[in-house]
Structure 1
Amino acid sequence: MYKENFRIIILFITFLILIPSSLMGQERKKEVKKQNPLQQEYKIAQSYENIGEHKKALDIYRRLHKADPESPLYFNGMKRTMIFLKMYPELVNLLESRLKTKQDINLMGDLADAYYRWGKIDKAKELWNKIIETFPQKDFSYLYVSNLMVQNRLFEEAINLLLEGRKTLKNDKLFITNLGYLYYYRRDFKSATKEYIKLIKINPRLFNTVNKYLNRFPDDSTTFKEVLPVLIENIDREPGNPSYRRLIINLYMKHKKYEQAFNQYKILDNILNAKGKEILRFADMTLNEKEYKIAEEIYRYFINKYPSHKQIPKARFGLAYCYENIDNVPDDNKKMTPGYIKAIEEYKLVAEEAPESILKAEALYRIGEINFLKLFDLDNAINYYNLIVKQFQNTYICLTAFLRLGDVFIAKGDLENAMLNFNRVKNADKKSGKDLPGKARLKLAELEFFKGRIDSSLQICNNLLDEIPKNSDIYNDLLEFTLFLEDNKGINNNLINNYARAEFL
């Protein structure tokens, strides 16, 4: 009996709770139905506008504006659709009516724009002048009107207006970026440069901004001839200003006039009392651009001018790399010799001058590469790679040398020693080895293929494919080799083994 009464009480309480909530739900539905009809119509007008039914949208916007003349949403809707439908007389009436109750620079601008689109150019100009006279924030007024002119593609008029504003307000620092952009758009790069360079005069820290603007200019010879005199003029006026030197250097570099850039770098280095730092920076820059001839000249200049500089080994390494990539260079007897022979001489000097530096390891590695790939002196290559392995253990370049030793032993036909070196890299810590363990495993898969062990090679490849990311340096090579193995898996073993041996040889 007690349980039955308790159940009835619970049901009654639940009923009391549910009735108000259901009534509230019904009330919400009524509220939705009673939603502001103007808002619903506004959404319909927007939908018409979005599908290109501008006349239908305008009819609704008119009704809405009449119902609520103060709403900016309805007013702007009318304005937009009238512009699209080119109903300029009616648009002018709408804007003039609005201006009677509210003096606003945007409304005046819209009215001037409507007159201009309508063809009433004198009236538009009259309004533009009125904007400048009416609003006390003069510089903003000039900018605002110039933007209206730009919107109507009146670029020359916009330029003249800003120049007039600068003169009227007696402030040559006004509208610099605006005028620079307009000159740039008009392809008057000389005038654009004159404007942008004023930013450095105002604040030298804006050098990067100015350089970015100038880098947007085309790299044709006509533009070069327009910009160069402006930079030279500023340098002549302030020869000790490093920013102007950097701008002209960047211009020369952009147009691959490296000798002229080099001359400016020498001056810049003196201005900054950089003691060769700027020269070496320029040498590295041209090396990265693979301009080996000019880079060689700059490195030699640095080495001869600053023989006791702490960066001599680095400069010598750069010089050696230039030699390595130049076909023939003169030796001490003025005879032409292959560049890589001269490179070895310089790399050896680097190793002597920086005995404990990683730069020595890199120099030894380059000598090993030249012996392996250029001179085909495999034993000498092994000697230099081994020097790295002994002195620079547990480094990335040590693992790189092990990997290369494996390649050299393959070239010698010694697959066992090749496998030994690849395994050293394969088992290396991934943090220090980065991508090298994966490369070593691919090499081991190739060794298995050379030995005719196709299934073993394929297993290594498939395991590696599951582990390395697709953006890895070796992914494409690995995938190609794996597909090759898969395609030839069913071929007669003797045939594929013979092919593998032929590939190895």
Structure 2
Amino acid sequence: MIKYIMIYLLVCFLIPEKVIAQSNNAESLYRRARGLENTGLIDEAENIYYQIFIKNPNNEKYYNALKKILIKKNDCLEMMNNVEIFSNARANSKYSKINTLEIEIICNADWENTFNNLVEKNITDLAFLNKVFSKLMNNGQAEYALSSIPKIRKISNKESFYANELGYYYMSMKKYDQSVEEFLKHLKQFPNHLEMINQRIATFPELSKFTNEKIINHLISSDTKESKIILADFYFKLKLINESVGLLKKYGLMSELLSLTQNIEKLNQIDLSNELFIYIIENGNQKIAQKAVFEFAKSLENRSFIDESQLPISQFMKKNSFFSSPFVKIKDSDSNLMHRAISLYDSLSTNQLDLNSFYRLGEIQFRALEDLDAAFEIYKEIYGRSYNRDLRLKALKRMIDVSLAKGNLETSKQIINEHINQNIWSEDDRIELRMKQNQILFYESNIDFLYDDLSIILKDFSVDHKDYNEILDVMRVLIIFKNKQNIFEKYTKAQFKIHQNRRNEALLILNDLLIGCEDNLLKSLISYQLASLLIKQNKIDAAIEQLKSFKHEGVYNELSLLMLAEIDDYLLKDYTAAKKQYYDFLVNYPSSIYQEPTRIRLKKITELSIQ
């Protein structure tokens, strides 16, 4: 019975005359025709398109929908009839004649006369001619269009006519030197399109030496500043760094030279990047010199730090602020770089009243030099002087961190309570400050209130929020310590010591906890963190012994196995042993969330061993 009902409904649906009689709503019928077309019922869709087009002959959307089907059917007679109806409905305007030109090209009619007439009668209307030429280019008549463009450019005295479109056309034809030539013509008329065109040229594939030389010659021959910027980037792409640097210096393009310098630094060409930073500082205007000083100081600062997060997959808590220290080590060999950075930041913050530089100076005083009093005063001054909400928030959070580093939990709470309800903060800002409150609660071992507040915050977060995983990590730990308040107090005391950079004291506390621990999951957590801390102390053998001392439980079993593999990989450089352990992990833990990063790393070191 249902089968016959469905057939009846389908037959009713497909009778166009009845459909038209039932409704004069053209848009509704248009959507119905689209549905028929998408399901393969082309003739039925054509019938409806035709009827709504006849009722609305000046509607371009309905005309194009019908045209699309007729092109596929190669029904030139109908296309010619319809385009005449459409053009008449639009009072035979010049724009409607573009549609006539298109159908004549598709049907191989006398389109050349139509094209020539349109060009001659509208020789000064370049926007209109642009549409005319696009019809030729898009319908297989590129050669005819290309032969006609020079005439338009000469009469209009506009070399940029249709140049951007030709740039893309030649790109699609893999004629890259001609593409650049056309892009440059467009760029001369529209210099604000530099970034777009530069990006297009940057996407060119690896080319022959002959083609590269032709492109370079085009760029050299151009007399625009924008062409020199593109040429410098093209040189850099070809690894002709000295040529790129020399060109930007010659034309005084200091902003671009600064960007190039930062890219050179990423290639680890430190001497050259240092030289260029200094050159820009000495030769740039005040604004660019100030920016160069800031970037140079940041570069020197970063180079002087030791990265302790050497194990990308198994690192304990991935820099979670509840379990880590804000302090960093300085390389002994590069301590002079740190002092140079301090001098540059100090110069900027004093002479230019630059609070971002002042903040960087505070970061060095706090995180690298551990001058807590000096750092606190810097952050406090920034908080009081800055009108930038983000910078004020960062400074306030650092005031709290410094107070925690001093061991002052009460002072930290007072700072938050005094400022959290100010009107300047957004809801996200207040949540960041609540996270600082929760960090203090963690160090105070207030497990119940902490868990409840983190749960409330987590409900408002999407899984993509930057703090989502950090909160989950903390909550997992809290669950392990549920109903173990005495042990939790000792554990959080160790975490507070870590925050204060008193790592040896933290190790002693965690070792004592491990000795008396009978809960295997809790024991696994403590053992895993102990191994991570021992690695940071450069006690690799002790870390390995700790990881192998017993079979860990839960996720800490997986992380412990991965840590052993990463010790072999990154610290001991024993790639053979690392490959075996990575492979065993992939086989034994197929559902692990660490499968993908492990697989990627195994593939990489396997490729390295083959080379």
TM-score by length of 1: 0.65
Amino acid at match of 1:406: S
Instruction: Quote how far apart the aligned CAs of 1:347 are.
Output: 0.8
Counterparts of 1:224-373 in structure 2 under 5 Å? 226=211, 229-230=214-215, 232-236=217-221, 238=223, 241-252=224-235, 259-269=242-252, 278-279=253-254, 282-283=257-258, 286-287=261-262, 291=266, 293=270, 294-303=272-281, 315-326=292-303, 338-348=333-343, 350-351=345-346, 354-355=349-350, 357=353, 358=355, 361-371=358-368
1:424 is aligned to 415
Amino acid at match of 1:188: K
- Measured in 1, the distance between the counterparts of 2:461 and 2:56 equals 64
Instruction: Quote how far apart the aligned CAs of 1:71 are.
Output: 5.1
1:119 is aligned to none
The question of whether the paired residues in 1 share the 8 Å contact of 2:170 and 2:179 is answered with yes
Quickly say closer, same or farther: Cα 1:223–1:503, change in 2 above 3 A: farther
Instruction: Quote how far apart the aligned CAs of 1:301 are.
Output: 2.0
Instruction: Quote how far apart the aligned CAs of 1:60 are.
Output: 7.1
Amino acid at match of 1:209: H
The question of whether the paired residues in 1 share the 8 Å contact of 2:184 and 2:222 is answered with no
2:193 is aligned to 209
Structure with higher RCO (Cα < 8 A, 6+ apart): 2
1:183 is aligned to 170
1:332 is aligned to none
How much is the aligned-residue C-alpha RMSD, in angstroms? 4.9
What is the aligned residue count? 425
What's the CA shift string for 1:377-409, capped at 9, x where partnerless?
A: x4xx31431442565562526524413313533
What's the CA shift string for 1:277-305, capped at 9, x where partnerless?
A: x5366336744896373543322223455
Q: Which has the larger radius of gyration?
A: 1
Quickly say closer, same or farther: Cα 1:488–1:441, change in 2 above 3 A: same
- Measured in 2, the distance between the counterparts of 1:61 and 1:233 equals 50
Quickly say closer, same or farther: Cα 1:223–1:327, change in 2 above 3 A: farther
- Measured in 2, the distance between the counterparts of 1:222 and 1:290 equals 26
What secondary structure, in the 3-state scheme, does the structure 2 residue paired with 1:174 have? Answer: coil
Q: Gapped runs of 5+ residues in structure 1?
A: 1-34, 116-123, 270-277, 329-335, 373-377
- Measured in 1, the distance between the counterparts of 2:65 and 2:379 equals 76
1:408 is aligned to 405
The question of whether the paired residues in 1 share the 8 Å contact of 2:380 and 2:396 is answered with no
Q: Gapped runs of 5+ residues in structure 2?
A: 1-18, 306-330, 386-391, 497-505, 507-611
Instruction: Quote how far apart the aligned CAs of 1:216 are.
Output: 2.1
1:55 is aligned to 43
Quickly say closer, same or farther: Cα 1:163–1:38, change in 2 above 3 A: farther
Amino acid at match of 1:263: G
The question of whether the paired residues in 1 share the 8 Å contact of 2:462 and 2:468 is answered with yes
Q: Work out the percentage of aligned pairs sharing the same amino acid.
A: 15
Matched, 1:83 2:74: no
Instruction: Quote how far apart the aligned CAs of 1:466 are.
Output: 7.8
2:556 is aligned to none
Quickly say closer, same or farther: Cα 1:281–1:150, change in 2 above 3 A: closer
What's the CA shift string for 1:111-166, capped at 9, x where partnerless?
A: 42442xxxxxxxx2x61212134443255797566434433345445434435665
Amino acid at match of 2:257: F
TM-score by length of 2: 0.55
